[in-house]
Structure 1
Amino acid sequence: MEHLLNPKVKSIEISGIRTFFNMVSDYENMISLTIGQPDFETPHHIKEAAKSAIDENRTTYTHNAGILELRKAAANFLQSKYNLTYRAENEIITTTGASQAIDVTLRTILTEESEVILPGPVYPGYEPIITLSGATPVHVDTTQHEFKMTRSLIESAITERTKCIILPSPSNPTGVALSKEELANIADLLRDKEIFVLSDEIYSELNFSDDHNSIAQFEGMREKTIVINGLSKSHAMTGWRVGFLFAPEEICKHILKVHQYNVSCASSISQYAALEALQNGLEDPVQMRKEYKDRMDYVYNRLVEMGLSPIKPDGAFYILPSIKQFGLSSFDFAMKLAKDGNLAVVPGSAFSHYGEGYVRISFAYKLDILKEGMDRLERFLNTL
């Protein structure tokens, strides 16, 4: 019966990140620097709030968009942190993680044969949804621009079919973030164009400069921008699956319909945990961010010493060094490193064809693990 399945579904692949992780997971004595998973525990007070929600039988459906108190807390968060104003009643949706927010957004705004511009290399979770929506992903090559989407790159890729531009900042897999000036230049280009912007800001609280900017802050951009955020990375809550979608009412009301038929609502228990995080845990990310910064500095300096010349990340917990000098494909390099060096990293080809020639290293691991991982990488490179 497989031949009767939706051909669009058959044409997409399981994430290259997970594919490679699964391939090497059974290797003995393996250090894996592959998955973007915080190694911190969810803060205690958040877990206690979830337990209380269970004990108080807050286990029923909520409003499709999430409990109003949580949406108000999310609105206050964006206003106080990033000077972005959204109405809790009709411009915010609580989603089952940022991934579901991306899914329902793209399925709402995209039409057959429309195009979506996104950076390359880029997180692999966007392209399959674009494809399933009948649209076409258009990657632009950022490798000569310090992995940053620029006004000129976007301008050169826009066609009459362009429907959306995706701006992840800070970015997975590169860790780079767009500055206020860079976003202003992009806003100047897009302000008068009928093109949506999906601004993926899930790593906003892990910006090492503590100066995150959103393109929705700029004049004329709020009306066409859908901001995605959440608590998975900032509060070490990946398994709780809580994300947020912020958009003008005339866009949000249609996304809500797709969200409703997709999941009805996010988990009620997770929502009450998220409420505690946003009301009493705004400082929770501070220590995590400091430790990620220390880990980034260590890994970056080690890679420079090895002669790999990586672009220094601005945030998140990834770095994408080039391995082109060794004459191997990113997949072959990563497989050889796993087999001969007992170190797992992600081939850059998992992040679009513009990732070829790079490997992604996650530094969401304790410093002693990173030290051993860098030692193994250095020994391996000395054999090539």
Structure 2
Amino acid sequence: MFVLLMRYLKGYLRICVTSTSPERFLNLCRNRGILLWGLSPHGRDYEMYISIRGFRKLKPVLKKTKTKVTIEERFGLPFFFHKYRKRKMFFCGAAGCVMIVYLLSLFIWNIHIDGNQTRTDETILAFLEEKNTVHGMLRKDVDCEQIVKDIRQQFDDIIWVSAYVKGTRLMIQVKENSDTITMPATEMEKPSDIVADKDGVVTEIITRKGVPLVHAGDEVKKGDLLVSGRVEVLNDSKEVIGYQYQTADADIFVQTVCPYEEKMERAYEKKIYTEKERRKYYLKWNDIKVSVGTTKNQYQHAERLTEEYRWTLGEHFVLPVSHGMEREREYRLQKKLYGKEEVQTMLSENFHRFCGELEKKGVQILENNVKIHIGQNLATAKGTLTLIEPAGEQRETEIIEVEQKTEGEQ
């Protein structure tokens, strides 16, 4: 690649050599250090490539071997400049373009944030703006180490930050602590029970902390106590002398019956687009916007579409310039009626999507009794689902004071 670039910068020729002794011509060129490449026969002649410098050394070789050379084609930057030597404005414009690109490369035109999930880009950008890290700032003024420190100090849930400049982009990568618990420590330490949050039949219970009060096969109602966070302390006589309190923890699964119903009107309004539309084209430099055309109209119903494209040189050289188009397209509303097959398909897809969401939450579907009924104006998917799903919610444990007996009372 480098050799090809140097050849283009210095210029080279494709020549046709006519000689009675081509072998002698090639040997003399080799002895005099004249580089030839791309040699190929062309009838009784030979075609090859030679540099401009090598071509200038050919005269004594041609005279000695009685060889005739014809220039077939010229390549390279010297010939390009010679061809357009009278077009001064073209070269001035090219030089000006290079200068503008160089000046634009001195600034940061895009701040890219990656890895954030709970914190939005806007939140982090607003904080950086308070620290004078904004779009359009000089690259030399970017202090990546300070940016990392500021973000770590401001956001406690961000445990790792990386900041670096690439082209005209400031790349910020963060990693959030996914194990962060938002519940205050005082609330976590409070003893709690697990109570049923739905009606059903217990199919499985695995207790890690607390005292289980139900077993597999027991029927429970919403609000029933499932696992107690209060553990009795007994003496040798099996009498309760106190209680130990803890946060109950268990995996509880119950079989429930979930009603499902979805109604759908068969009548709907369909958009019928007309050929009328208004367009506006614009060129935008940061907050400065120059537009041509207008989208003002008197359409009764119209749909707006906006397309905008940011100018870039490569992946990381982002320019502060963008262009786009705004379009207002007229449409009219036409009343339609869904066919029976369409309604069947749409209600079925919605039901399967609902079942998929349940399965994502760890719910097992045992039985499906949902049926679709299609009327003249209304369609309904109605029935029940038999599920096995996690159950239980935390509730604060009631504290019971135990009266201590004296030695005389014992």
TM-score (structure 1 length as normaliser): 0.16
Higher relative contact order (CA 8 A, sep 6+): 1
Structure index of larger Rg: 2
TM-score (structure 2 length as normaliser): 0.15
- Considering fraction of residues, name the structure with more helix: 1
- Considering fraction of residues, name the structure with more strand: 2
